[in-house]
Amino acid sequence: MKIKVKVDDSVYQVEIENLNARPIIARIGDETFEIWPEMEAGPALAKTALVEASPKPATGLPADQPTSASSVAAPLPGTVTEIMVSAGSQVQAGNPLLVIEAMKMKNTIRAARAGTVKEIHVVVGQSVQHKQLLLEFET
């Protein structure tokens, strides 16, 4: 969806991917922003959420999270309902690692590469945020 947003005397063409997704991904020119309306502001300040949003990190992960191929981050917020591996498990690319339930949908998180699981950072029943570190592989 494309909308025009006016801030002071400037008008911006904003492209929004999906208003129902969290975070909402918005693009203004070459910049990409993540918007968490529920966290950014209450209803009275909702109009300023886009202005206050920070650019999306180039890595796709928050600055405080590992950015190597040896980590797996949550692709969406939800609740961990099942963990199929443990530290020391050998996995092949495509093997299921764990399941995150979001809005009554079960999402199986699969290994992007072959390797040995080094550490699991979540437990069954734990709520996770988008891009939260789930597990790490040995390097």
User: Using CA atoms, how far apart are residues 91 and 71, in angstroms rounded to an integer?
Assistant: 14
Other Cβ atoms less than 10 A from the Cβ of 139: the count is 9
Sign of the four-CA dihedral 127, 129, 132, 135: positive
139 residues of the chain, pLDDT tens digit each: 888 888 788 888 888 877 777 777 788 888 877 776 665 444 443 333 444 444 444 444 444 444 457 889 998 999 999 999 999 999 998 899 999 999 888 989 988 889 999 999 999 999 999 999 999 999 7
Whether 84 contacts 98, CB under 8 Å: yes
pTM: 0.53
Question: What local confidence, expressed as pLDDT, does residue 133 receive?
Answer: 93
Residue-range domains of the chain with CATH: 2-52 (no CATH), 71-137 (2.40.50.100)
CA–CA separation, 45 and 127 (whole Å) = 27
What pLDDT does 94 receive? 87
| CA 121 to centroid of chain Cα atoms | 16
